[in-house]
Amino acid sequence: MLFDVRKYTCRPGTIAKHLELYERMGKAPQAKHLGLPVLYAKCETGDPNVYIHIWAYENAGDREKKRAAMQADPDWIAYTQESAKLGALYSQENMLFNDVSFYPFKR
């Protein structure tokens, strides 16, 4: 299993607007192509401008295929354009992880 862990930092005071935009415009097309995330959460302690999401894929090829389809989806493109206009995102970090044999991931 391959996990795509994504950490985003929003500009102070913009995370609520950004997450509202995602819920309204980005959630449906992303779920259509990637399925449901393992986790989608905002920070409780530490930096209140941070949120993360984690997606599970069978392997790198599965991830590449699904993300390419999402990137070509007109609804996803419309969301990314509106997100850019909002200007809430300050930084993004992506990491890929594999599960370990002694704690296999179960869907």
Residues 37-91 have pLDDT tens digits of 999 999 999 999 999 999 999 999 999 999 999 999 999 999 999 999 999 999 9
2-95 adopts what CATH topology? Answer: Alpha-Beta Plaits (3.30.70)
Q: Which residue has the tokens 């905002």?
A: 42
In contact, 99 and 5? CB cutoff 8 Å: no
pTM (2 d.p.): 0.91
Q: What is the pLDDT of residue 107?
A: 72
d(CA 66, CA 30): 10
Q: What is the pLDDT of residue 85?
A: 97
Give the ranges where the chain is alpha helix by DSSP (H): 15-21, 27-34, 60-72, 74-86
d(CA 68, CA 78): 15
